[in-house]
Amino acid sequence: MTANTVIWKAMEMLMPAAPIKKIVILGGGTAGWLSAAMMARVLGRTVDITLVESDEIGIVGVGEATIPPLVNLLVFLGINEDDLLKHVQGTFKLGIEFHDWYEKGHSYGHMFGAPGNPLGVLPFHQYWLRQHQAGKAGSLWDYSLNALAAQQNRFGRLRTIPNTPNMEGMNYALHFDASLLARYVRGHCEKQGVIRREGKVSGVNLRGTDGFIESLTLQSGEVISGDFFLDCSGFQGLLIEGALKSGYEAWTEFLPCDRAWAVPCKAAGPLRPITRTRAHTAGWQWRIPLQHRTGNGHVFSSAFMEADAARDILMNNLDGEALAEPRLISFVTGRRKASWVKNCVSLGLASGFLEPLESTSIHLVQSALQRLAHMFPDTGFNQPEIDEYNRKTKREYELIRDFLVLHYKATKRDDSPFWNHCRTMAVPDSLATKIDYFRQHGRVMVEGDDLFKEANWVQVLIGQGVMPESFSPLALTVPDDSLADYMAHVRQIYDTLLPKIPSHADYIAQYCQAPKG
């Protein structure tokens, strides 16, 4: 190396890194087009955004369920919620029903928002525990506005309850057709200047100096170069794994399901504002109501059930006539060991997979994009920032994993080898500690970055039969008569309000009905 070369290298190190000018997104679908929408919203026209996808490659999902943070994302992106729902055959979602999970014949709800109303420094469920243990209160969900509305198939956009500003209204999320959502967001992105390239990738070209991705070669011969690459290529992780060898951490010892049959069917009965799940002998079934049909799937473990048997269970438990042949999806629950490697970030299924039991798939994309926007790099790609992004992503996946594992571990079911395995399996220490802590006084240890807060954990813990031995001593500071009046008042407010809330179907017909035909 000459003296001039050494001097030049030293000068390069002192020069500030150039800003990113070209972003390339590999893969469409929900993950790809939401990524494009977020980048366009955050960066405007200061960068060129190109998305590469092939119409020959389908997307996973026949019906998609979400959680409430998506509603805020749509506002941020400038997408009108009613217009979106008209185009994606969408419906509203107040929570998730769980049937036969704790034991056959038992059901409960994980509803959005906390039951009841806090009193003083304690959440409502602490007072409910006191009354329930004294035989003076029924189900926790008797004090949940979302649960009561879902039972009556009612829906309204109520952030707060009229004349009771301290009481939570109806938190909600959305159901939609996944393929229609991708098409809708694509149209939104193209109006923002995002360029779409049709084609399959035949080669990923790495820089010889540092192994960073330099460009993608399409089967047509076109070469698409970029500074920063977002891998939304699905399970295969064409960039993050195929080119950069991130590695994968599987969690099948905690979440043994690894297959899913998916099929749409004709809608039957009233349009319900809720996702329904039902546990079967080696997995569980979902039902997602859309305006024009119902999305269905059967998630199961191939170690405990043959694919044909799982298919039969799904097809024999549809609410209406099947509209297509069922599709089999294979997956390995877990995450990439690093979601960000060099100049590539993986999102969606390319980053990891957690079964759709709590509708977290799209949220993981949203959360990753928000994290990426906060830590958006320049062409220097600072390694400590990459490491912090990966640390936060790893922790997010672990926290959601624990919440999912709870549904399988906390069960009385002993009617099949699958449920015997789940009931007796070892679980992560983080989950075991949380369960033990809750058993004492009904308290939940929630970390600041945990997606699922106290109200979420309380509903699933109690729903799965984990009942605390006692309650917070502070709940005893309210006199018996005052507490009884307080509980009755909460229920009276709901009983007065509910008849004024329209049916789910009527609300959709008024605000966001999809065009017929």
Query: Which token pair is 470?
Result: 């006692």
**Residue reference for tokens 């000459």:** 2
Angle at which helix 383-409 crosses helix 417-424, to 10 degrees, equals: 120
Mean pLDDT of 179-185: 96
Annotated binding-site residue? 28: yes
Q: How many CB atoms lie within 10 A of CB 33?
A: 27
In the set 9, 22, 86, 93, the catalytic residue is 93
Quote the pLDDT of residue 369: 98
User: Of the ranges 202-206, 397-401, 447-451, which one carries the lowest mean pLDDT score?
Assistant: 447-451
Answer whether 451's CB lies under 8 Å from 439's CB: no
Alpha helices in 173-288 (DSSP H): 178-191
Helix (H, G, I), strand (E, B) or coil at 37: helix
- The pLDDT of residue 114 is 94
**CA-CA distances (angstroms) from residue 86 to 80, 92, 176, 323?**
10, 12, 10, 21
Residue pLDDT, tens place only, 39-88: 999 999 999 999 999 987 766 555 699 999 999 999 999 999 999 999 99
Known binding residue 64? Answer is no
| Domain locations along the chain | 19-63+177-251+333-381, 102-167+405-501, 259-330
Are the C-beta atoms of 249 and 304 separated by less than 8 Å? no
Residue tagged 């999102």 (tokens): 347
Written as six digits, the tokens of 114 are 């906390």
Encoded tokens for 110:
């994980």
Q: Is the pLDDT of residue 23 over 80?
A: yes
Q: Which fold has domain 19-63+177-251+333-381?
A: FAD/NAD(P)-binding domain (3.50.50)
Rg (CA), the chain: 25
Average confidence score pLDDT of the chain: 95
Query: Containing H/E element for 167?
Result: strand 164-168
Is residue 358 annotated as involved in ligand binding? yes
Q: Residues near 3 by Cβ (< 8 Å), separated by ≥ 6?
A: none
Q: Please, what's the b/e burial string for 311-320 (b: 16 or more CB within 10 A of its CB; e: otherwise)? A: bebbbeebee
CB 100 within 8 A of CB 278: yes
29 is in an annotated binding site: yes
93 is catalytic: yes
Mean pLDDT of 434-446: 97
Residue 361 neighbours by CB distance under 10 Å: 24
Query: How buried is residue 483: exposed, middle or buried, by Cβ count under 10 Å (0-12/13-18/19+)?
Result: buried
The pLDDT score that the predictor gives to residue 243 is 98
Residue 163: CB atoms within 10 Å: 8
Q: What is the pTM of this model?
A: 0.95
